[in-house]
Amino acid sequence: MSLVRIRLAGWSSRGLIPALPLLLSSWLCGQSTNPLELLKQPTPPATGQITYGKDSLQFGEIRVPSGNGPFPVAILVHGGCWSAKLKGLPEAVTSFELLRPIASALADAGIASWNIEYRRLGNDGGGWPGTYQDLGRATDLLRDIAWRYHLDLSHTIVIGHSSGGQLAMWLVARGRLPKTSPLYTDAPLPLKGVVDIDGPPDLETFRPIEQPMCGGPVVTQFLGGTSAEFPHRYREGSIAALLPTGIRQELFIRAKPAEAHGLLEQYVGVAEKAGDPVRMFTLTGNSHFDGINPTAPDWATVMASVQTLLRNP
C-alpha cells in the first residue's frame, strides 16, 4: 500500500520541555493549537465516570450520543510521554481531560467514547506492567457496561494521541501476547482498528530520539530498563514485535522532525510486509495538538479515518 501524504507538527507532548519557548511563540501568533486553550474548550458533561480498579486513577469517562443506539465506540488514550506530569504545565495536559473536546465531537457524530485515565510514570504502579494492565482492564470493562449505555462493541476502535498512540497501537496487538507475559489477558476485547495521532508505534526505535522529544530517558524509565536488560518488555510492550495483527491502522504524523517521520515510515514498511492494512497521513497543522482539536482543519482528516474504520464490516 502506498503512503498517503497530507502534514502535522509535534510528536510527544513531553517534547514541550525543550521546545516550550518556540511552541509558546507559535501559539501566541495563532499558528497552532495551544493545549491550555484546548483544555478550556467548552464540552457538555460526560454521561458518566466509571472505575475499573481501586486506584484513584483507574477510571474512565463514558460519553454517549443522544438517541437510542446501539452506538459505535471509540476508546480514547491520552498522551504525555508516558508521564503523570510535564515540567511547567498543568497535570491536565497529560490527563484524559485533554481528549474531552474530541470525545464531545465524536458524540456529535453519533459515536460513543470511553476516555481512559490510567497510571503513568510518577504514579504508584505506573510504568511496566501497571500502565498496560490498566489499559487492558479498562478496555475489557466495556463488555460489562455495553448493555447499560447501548454500545455496539462489534464496531469498536481505539484512538491514541502522542504516547497514547503507542499504547493504543499496543491495545490492538495484545491478543498476540504470549501466555507467559504479565500483560496477557485471555480473550481481550476485539477491536476493528486504531488511529494513532502523532505517536511512536515502537518503543525501541523511539529511544534514540527520546531526549529531544521527551526531555529524558522516558522509555527506559517506563519499561524499567534498556532493551538489553529486559528484551521481553520491549517485545511485549509495542505493536512492532507483535505483528501481524490483521487490524486496520491509521497513522498520523508531522513532517518534521525528519527522524520522527522516518521512524513511522519504517514501521509502515514493516507492518505492510507482515500483511497488516496500514495507512500513513502527514497533516497540515503546525501543532502536536491540532489532530485532537475539533476546531482545527486537521481534525476533519482524523475524523474521516475514524468513520472509515467504524464503517468497515
pLDDT tens, residue by residue, 62-84: 999 999 989 999 999 999 999 99
- In the β-sheet with 193-197, what is the strand arrangement from edge to edge? 48-51, 59-63, 112-116, 71-77, 151-161, 193-197, 248-253, 278-282
Q: Which of 227, 186, 204, 198 is nearest to 33 (CA)?
A: 198
Domain contains 4: no
Domain contains 1: no
Instruction: Tell me: pLDDT of 192 over 70.
Output: yes
Q: Which of 85, 122, 104, 166 is nearest to 299 (CA)?
A: 104
Instruction: Tell me: pLDDT of 11 over 70.
Output: no
Instruction: For the beta carbon of residue 269, count every other beta carbon within 10 angstroms.
Output: 13
Global pTM value:
0.90
CATH of the domain at 126: 3.40.50.1820
- Would you say 168 and 132 are in contact if contact means Cβ atoms under 8 Å apart? no
Domain contains 129: yes
Domain contains 150: yes
Any residues with CB less than 8 A from the CB of 278 and at least 6 apart, and which?
A: 1, 248, 249, 250, 251, 268, 271, 272
pLDDT tens, residue by residue, 293-305: 999 999 999 999 9
Q: Which of 117, 82, 124, 119 is nearest to 96 (CA)?
A: 117
Total count of domains within the chain: 1
Instruction: Tell me: pLDDT of 246 over 80.
Output: yes
Instruction: Tell me: pLDDT of 8 over 70.
Output: no
What pLDDT was estimated at residue 215? Answer: 76
Q: Which of 22, 85, 20 is nearest to 218 (CA)?
A: 85
Higher pLDDT, 258 or 249: 249
Instruction: Tell me: pLDDT of 243 over 60.
Output: yes
Domain contains 228: yes
Distances (CA, A) of 236 to 116, 198, 311: 21, 21, 30
Residue 179 domain boundaries: 13-83+92-195+202-311
DSSP state of 121: B
Domain contains 66: yes
Instruction: Tell me: pLDDT of 189 over 70.
Output: yes
Percent of the chain with pLDDT over 70: 87
What pLDDT was estimated at residue 137? Answer: 98
What pLDDT was estimated at residue 207? Answer: 76
Any residues with CB less than 8 A from the CB of 8 and at least 6 apart, and which?
A: 198, 252, 253, 254, 255, 282, 283, 284, 285, 288, 290, 291, 298
Mean pLDDT of 111-134: 97
Domain contains 175: yes
What pLDDT was estimated at residue 310? Answer: 95
Mean pLDDT of 154-168: 97
Instruction: Tell me: pLDDT of 248 over 50.
Output: yes
Domain contains 159: yes
Instruction: For the beta carbon of residue 123, count every other beta carbon within 10 angstroms.
Output: 18
Mean pLDDT of 208-224: 82
Instruction: Tell me: pLDDT of 195 over 80.
Output: yes
- Would you say 69 and 63 are in contact if contact means Cβ atoms under 8 Å apart? no
Mean pLDDT of 131-144: 98
Whole-angstrom distance, CA of residue 197 vs CA of residue 164: 8
Whole-angstrom distance, CA of residue 23 vs CA of residue 1: 34
Any residues with CB less than 8 A from the CB of 65 and at least 6 apart, and which?
A: 71, 107, 108, 109, 110, 111, 112
Mean pLDDT of 116-135: 97
pLDDT tens, residue by residue, 267-276: 999 999 999 9
Instruction: Tell me: pLDDT of 28 over 60.
Output: no
